[in-house]
Structure 1
Amino acid sequence: MSDAALPATVADVPTPCLLVDIDKVKRNCQRMTDTARNMGVQLRPHVKTHKTIEGADICTAGTRRKIVVSTLNEAEFFAANGYDDILYGFPISKEKIPRCQRLANQLSEFHILYDSAEAMQWVQDAPLNPGKQWSVILKIDTGYGRAGVVWDSDDVITVAKAAVDTDNVRFHGIYTHCGSSYDCTGVEELKTFGTTNTDRLITVRDKLKSAGIACETVGTGSTPSCSKPADNMAALTEFHPGNYIFYDYEHVRIGACTLDDVAVRVATRVISHKPSKKQLVTNSGFTSMSQDGLKQVGDEFCVIQDHPNLRLVEMSQEHGKIRPATGDIDFTDYPLGSLLFLYPYHACSTAYNHPFYYVHSGEKIVGVWRPTRGW
């Protein structure tokens, strides 16, 4: 889509679509940059939320260095657009090694995550160009229970040594995704969580140091914990948050941000009235909103701008069903074709449903961002 074909204002957009408030994006990114700088920690933004060059340029202040990706498609996309020092923030699997080889040979810095000695055998069997070494980071599970070596397990030393003892590998350090921060509510819980998470990661660092294994990088990432960081997080070397560029209603509920910080909305239009059910029908189903959050928190999973009594309570593929939380609904307030703006519960999964994003400043549409897609 050329700029000439852009709708003039937010009121003119085709629906459903994802709207990105560029002024809020810039404010969110500057705040996170300042937080990391004030704590003496390197910010390495995760780009999986938006998957765009434009968003990453804002997050990295135009340096095009030091990002985290969740897919090799993202890594290849950003590398092709001049980005370097990229961390593939997903435990390496054997079939991904050839693509990682190409990236490691192409970039000055490309880092992979691993959490098993077996993975180091795959890496050892995949030599790089002369003068190149694999840069590997050990993924640690500090309590989230997803991937990674459990932080207080004896396997930490064994798996770290598997990399240290591999000739074509440089052991770069340790990293944890502290996803359990999403179970917190309020700033104090987030800070308490951040303190515990950091203590566990530092324990791993010190255990490795005692075994003669140095950690150049000690990183952690989640938008809630990095938005409201605990004091001891200054002992880390890197922050890896991602969702903060947009935020969403989940982060509002957690206490990581305010509703005014949420930079994305889904624009939708009323397409039908159902008085017998006190229900509006819109053209934003789960293909534009994502159902992530609906089961977790029910009809509190998103907010409808300027309509605090309305709730999105159900979705099918292309239809959304909106009802009042209390009382009746005056359908004359919502004529067919009228616009509503939904703040998503989870910006990452919502954004992934959209082939492009309309970017606006105030009410004026100022551009389009096109995310990469695939794995």
Structure 2
Amino acid sequence: MATEMPIEVLNVPTPSFLVDIDKLERNARAMQDRCKHLGIQLRPHTKTHKTIEAADILCGGQKRCIAVSTLAEADLYSDNGFDDILFAFVITENKIVRCRQLHNKIGAFHVMLDSKVGYEALEKSPTGNGKPWSVYIEIDVKYHRTGVSWQSDDIVNLASLISGNNGMTFRGLYCHNGDTYNYIGSEAIKEAGRESTEILMKVKQRLLQHSINCGVVCMGSTPSCSHPDESMSLLEEFSPGNYVFYDVMQKNIGSCSMDDIAGRVATRVISQNVDHNILIIDCGFLAISKDGMENNLPKSPWIIQDNPNLRLVGMSQELGKVTTVEGKVDFAKYPIGTMLFIYPYHSCATAAMHPVYYVHSGDKIMAMWRPIRGW
């Protein structure tokens, strides 16, 4: 929703989530260019931003071919003219009714499963309109979260069941290769993407040996899609999500540069605890999340813009504690009311804390975006 007139960034309420529209658009173009170079269809994942406006930018204005993590997102996009939506979350029986509604509402709605239980849930719940379920099988390459292990015979068994069912169409394979977050530097990330691609091609070949055609192989993680190996041109789809904002974690592993981070939290100094060398800010864990604290980084997981000697060292629900890396806080430099800007360690988690994004170009707030919440 556009504001009536631009306001200054320094006048936003705090805490607030700021989105640099120029950086976001640059991130979108860069990913689109990578996919064009490799000959791959980009299927942006909306889980990070959950907004109509950002999805439109990531799709290049085409309003089609996206992945979502919740049915609330799918409802939002289907209500606003988006088509070809993948519900990139393993299907369970309790979600079938809503999935059927979406399937019958738009031209292409895809579901995903990783077990025979998921298959049986679809089998006993036909779409009712003669259009078969479009089904991806999720593959666990090395991340060990959801997905069928790439070495398991269950992949062939599931694909055979789906392909042999008149009420279903086997769309292909989906893989979130989240193991790439364990690699540091662009070359290591490329190698991880190459290894994942090689594994997926082996799975595809196994299916072909059983006369099962795998039309689409989709892989997504922001690191591997930000630094793709040329071999990834063997894939049909990319499905990254975090790249819309990037964050300090992505910067630390080499997915992006500091200048690519499009999201920040604006906060203000509300108190000074001189005796304990602490500034108190109005940004607690409900404004930035605790993601990253478990890593015990020496300068804290977050970066305070233009203040390399400040670090966020503790949070309660609505308050944060800021101190120095070295020496004493210059309290005269940070009087009560001073605004600080914090780059999030994990932008997906931080963005999820905010009902409104203040979208700016330079120092001017140009619009307010309202993400969908819930499931």
| TM-score, with structure 2 as normaliser | 0.98
In the alignment, which residue of structure 1 is the partner of 2:360?
360
Mapped partners of 1:302, 1:130: distance in 2: 50
Structure 1 residue 297, shift from structure 2 partner: 3.9
Query: Cα offset for 1:2?
Result: 6.7
Provide, for residues 158-194 of structure 1, a one-character-per-residue CA deviation record: whole Å limited to 9, x for no partner. 1221211222000010010011111111111101111
Render the CA deviation track for 1:247-280: whole Å, top value 9, x for unaligned. 0010000100001000010000001111222111
Q: Distance in 1 between matches of 2:183 and 2:323?
A: 29
Structural RMSD (CA)? 1.1
| Residue in structure 1 matched with residue 302 of structure 2 by the alignment | 302
Which whole-Å CA distance do the structure 1 matches of 2:262 and 2:200 have between them?
A: 32
Taking the aligned partners of 2:27 and 2:309, their CA distance within structure 1 comes to: 28
The aligned counterpart of 2:211 is 212
More deviation, 346-355/299-308: 299-308
Q: Conserved in 2, the CA contact under 8 Å of 1:22 and 1:360?
A: yes
3-state SS of paired residue (1:48): coil
2:233 counterpart of 1:234: yes
Q: Where in structure 1 are there 5+ consecutive unaligned residues?
A: none
Mapping 1:116-131, distance limit 5 Å: 116-131=115-130
User: Shift in Å at residue 129 of structure 1?
Assistant: 3.3
> How far 1:58 moved relative to its partner?
0.1
Q: Which sections of structure 2, spanning at least 5 residues, go unmatched? A: none
User: How far has the Cα of 1:125 moved from its partner?
Assistant: 1.1
Q: d(CA) in 1 for partners of 2:219 and 2:352?
A: 24
SS of the counterpart of 1:300? coil
Query: How far apart, CA to CA, are the structure 1 residues paired with 2:332 and 2:307?
Result: 14
CA apart distance, 1:140:
0.2
CA separation in 1, counterparts of 2:280 and 2:131?
57
Q: Tell me, yes or no, if the aligned pair for 2:104 and 2:129 is still in contact at 8 Å.
A: no
* Structure 1 residue 63 corresponds to structure 2 residue 62: yes
* CA offset digits 1:334-360 (Å, max 9, x no partner): 000000000000001100000010000
Other-structure match for 1:330? 330
Aligned residues: 374
- Normalising by structure 1, we get a TM-score of 0.98
Q: Please give the alpha-carbon distance, in whole angstroms, between the structure 2 residues aligned to 1:2 and 1:77.
A: 19
Q: Do the aligned partners of 2:44 and 2:66 also contact (CA within 8 Å) in 1?
A: yes
Within-5 A mapping of 1:15-94:
15-94=14-93
Distance 1:323 1:75, change over 3 A: same
2:186 maps to a residue whose letter is V
CA distance in 1, matches of 2:2, 2:200: 48
Q: Tell me if structure 2 keeps the 8 A contact 1:195–1:233.
A: yes
How far apart are the structure 2 equivalents of 1:296 and 1:157? 39
1:372 corresponds to: 372
| Corresponding residue of 1:11 | 10
Cα offset, 1:214, TM superposition: 0.7
Q: Which amino acid aligns with 2:262?
A: A
Farther off after superposition, 82-91 or 114-123 = 114-123
Q: Helix, strand or coil for the counterpart of 1:171?
A: strand
CA contact 1:220–1:240 (8 Å) conserved in 2: yes
Q: Look up the match of 1:164.
A: 163
TM-fit CA distance, 1:52: 0.3
Shift of 1:107: 1.1
CA distance in 2 between counterparts of 1:115 and 1:109 reads 20
- The AA in structure 2 aligned to 1:9 is E
Q: In 2, are the aligned partners of 1:91 and 1:114 still within 8 Å (CA)?
A: yes
Does the 8 Å contact 2:242/2:348 carry over to 1? yes
Tell me the distance in 2 between the aligned counterparts of 1:7 and 1:269: 21
Residue 199 of structure 1 aligns with an amino acid whose one-letter code is E
In the alignment, the residues of structure 1 paired with residue 142 and residue 278 of structure 2 have an alpha-carbon distance, to the nearest angstrom, of 42
8 Å CA contact retained: 2:127, 2:133 = yes
For 2:83 and 2:137, locate their aligned partners in 1 and report how far apart those are by CA, in whole Å: 20
> What corresponds to 1:257 in structure 2?
256
Aligned runs of 1:95-114 on 2, under 5 Å? 95-114=94-113
Contact 2:265 2:343 in 1 (8 A): yes
Distance 1:275 1:51 in 2: 41
Match of 2:139 in 1: 140
What is the one-letter code of the residue matched to 1:87? L
> Post-superposition shift, 1:7?
6.6
Give the drift of 1:119.
1.4
The yes-or-no answer on 1:244 pairing with 2:246 is: no
Following TM superposition, where does structure 1 have runs of at least 4 consecutive aligned residues deviating by more than 2 angstroms? 297-300
Moved more, 78-87 or 290-299: 290-299
